[in-house]
Amino acid sequence: MENYILCNCKNVSYFDVEDALHAAKSLDDVEKAFADVQEITHCSTGCGGCHDKIMDAISEIMHR
């Protein structure tokens, strides 16, 4: 898998999201996982434009 930036404001990459998911408290659903990833990486706390990209990445990683 290629690493690429998902959140430009906080410089969060796909691999950062993947690492954060491994440290996440909950992988029951994408919304809870997003909250954990956001807490760990601070993604989607700037302009919020990356929200959908982060959600897509989380969903992809969770369903591998």
Write out pLDDT tens, residues 11-31. Answer: 999 999 999 999 887 677 888
- pLDDT attached to residue 47: 96
Those residues with Cβ within 8 angstroms of residue 22's Cβ, 6 or more apart along the chain or in another chain: none
- Dihedral sign computed on CA atoms, order 2, 13, 54, 51: negative
Q: What is the mean pLDDT of residues 29-45?
A: 93
Looking at residue 44, its amino acid is S
The structure's pTM equals 0.90
> Percentage of the chain with pLDDT > 90?
78
Q: pLDDT category, 35, cuts 50, 70, 90?
A: very high
List the chain domain ranges. 5-62
CATH of 5-62, one of 3.50.50.60, 1.10.10.1100, 3.20.20.70, 3.40.50.300: 1.10.10.1100
Cα–Cα nearest to 16, from 64, 54, 52, 59: 54
Structure tokens at 25: 């408290």
β 5-7/12-13 pair status: antiparallel
